[in-house]
């Protein structure tokens, strides 16, 4: 995108992470009230039926694929502010990562729920959790299959905050 796009006052006023000169900035949330906020994100990991069967049977060369991916997702949510430049470090009160087998894919549906009581939301933490869980699942199973696909990373819902609630269609 061009500098003109970011300098346009109508566009930059809509983008909270840009200052009046179009430069990236961390949003000042110090004046906001801390409220309970929760976000749910999802990702899908598609693979060959043989790979799916091996993971389900616990026959992956690197060990417990799903437990490792779940733990990686939880750890990643806690590191989001270190990974995404303009994210605020937040006190996270709840992080869950659920990995559900889906024979129709075949593969796995990954869901992360992140909750906090803070001045800003946890959408990025939930999205980071499912992304890293999916990448870890790939890493743990790549000896079985290199063509595993990570798909459809998205925000499912969020509650709390000034912008209100969001629910994916």
- What residues are labeled active site? 139
Report the 10 Å Cβ neighbour count for 76. Answer: 24
Helix then strand then coil, in percent of the chain rounded to 5, is: 35, 30, 40
Q: Residue 29: name the closest of 39, 17, 12, 43 by CA.
A: 17
CA-CA-CA-CA torsion for 70, 75, 166, 31, nearest 10 degrees?
170
- Across the strands, what pairs with 41? 112, 155
User: What phi, psi does 155 have (nearest 5°)?
Assistant: -80, 125
Sequential DSSP letters for 48-66: -HHHHHHHHHT--TTS-HH
């Amino acid at each position: 995108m061009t500098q003109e796009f970011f300098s346009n006052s109508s566009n930059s006023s809509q983008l909270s992470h840009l200052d009046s000169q179009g430069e990236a900035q961390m949003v000042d949330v110090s004046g906001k009230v801390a409220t309970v906020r929760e976000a749910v994100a999802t990702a899908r990991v598609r693979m060959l039926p043989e790979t799916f069967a091996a993971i389900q049977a616990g026959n992956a060369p690197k060990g417990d694929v799903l437990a490792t991916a779940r733990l990686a997702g939880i750890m990643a949510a806690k590191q989001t502010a270190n990974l995404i430049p303009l994210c605020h470090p937040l006190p996270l009160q709840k992080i869950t990562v659920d990995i559900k087998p889906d024979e129709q894919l075949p593969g796995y549906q990954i869901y992360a729920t992140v909750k906090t009581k803070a001045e800003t939301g946890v959408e990025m933490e939930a999205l980071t959790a499912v992304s890293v869980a999916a990448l870890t699942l790939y890493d743990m199973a790549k000896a079985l299959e290199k063509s595993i696909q990570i798909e459809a990373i998205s925000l499912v819902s969020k509650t709390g905050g000034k912008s209100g609630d969001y629910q994916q269609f």
